[in-house]
Amino acid sequence: MPAEDTRLTDAALMREAVALARDNMRGGGRPFGAVVAFEGQVVARGVNEILASHDPTAHAEIQAIRHASRALGRPRLDGCVVYASGHPCPMCMAAMHMCGIARAFYAYSNEDGEPYGLSTAAVYAQMALPPEGQSLPLRALRPDGEDGLYAEWQAAGRP
Ligand SMILES: Nc1nc2[nH]cnc2c(=O)[nH]1
């Protein structure tokens, strides 16, 4: 007999992300939840913890990525899929790109969030501008005599 396929569907995994968001909200947190899955199995879950942890980076997706990375014992999540209750912000999208997430889904759009102050469209708009046009100026500033940090890292053969 062929082995039973125990993979959860995209819809089921997203339902879990939204349930996490709702539980977090009802417990006093912000209404965001996320699930990281691999081949239809939950690797880790996360909820927005910015209020409880005083950590502005503790978005649901970042928390789920952190927990997934710890659960797998490695900093890369190649092939994993993220199910996010809300449209991920640029920080979370960057984190997903950088750790190898293959695909991501969201349930509530930035348009859905806009009337409630839960949209990150304004941050996307800033990120789309050239650095010199952004409201947060980013400029190179290398101390005199500073050189070779990266070459030293490479020479040390560090991962
Ligand atoms: N998708 C998403 N959007 C947010 N905007 C503010 N916090 C969050 C979060 O945790 N997830």
Report if residue 140 sits inside a domain.
Answer: no
Is position 72 within any domain? yes
Whether 74 is covered by a domain: the verdict is yes
- 60-72 vs 10-26: helix axis angle to the nearest 10? 120
Q: Do residues 17 and 107 lie in contact, with contact meaning Cβ atoms separated by under 8 Å?
A: yes
* Number of domains making up the chain: 1
Ordered per-residue pLDDT tens for the chain, 159 residues: 788 899 999 999 999 999 999 999 999 999 999 999 999 999 999 999 999 999 999 999 999 999 999 999 999 999 999 999 999 999 999 999 999 999 999 999 999 999 999 999 999 999 999 988 999 999 999 999 999 999 999 999 977
User: Which residue in the list 16, 49, 61, 111 is annotated as catalytic?
Assistant: 61
What tokens were used for 110? 């930035």
Q: What is the CATH number of the domain that holds 94?
A: 3.40.140.10
ipTM field? 0.97
Distances from the Cα of 155 to the Cαs of 142, 152, 159, in angstroms?
A: 21, 5, 11
Is residue 4 assigned to a domain?
no
Q: Which atom of ligand 1 is nearest to the CA of 84?
A: 1
- For residue 38, being part of any structural domain is answered with yes
Radius of gyration of the chain (CA): 19
Cα(143) to centroid(ligand 1), Å: 36
Kindly report the pTM of this predicted structure.
Answer: 0.95
Whether 55 is covered by a domain: the verdict is yes
Predicted confidence at residue 2, as pLDDT, reads: 80
Question: DSSP string spanning 93-107?
Answer: HHHHHHHT--EEEEE
pLDDT digits (tens, 9 = 90+) for 13-50: 999 999 999 999 999 999 999 999 999 999 999 999 99
- C-alpha span between 45 and 127 (Å, rounded): 27
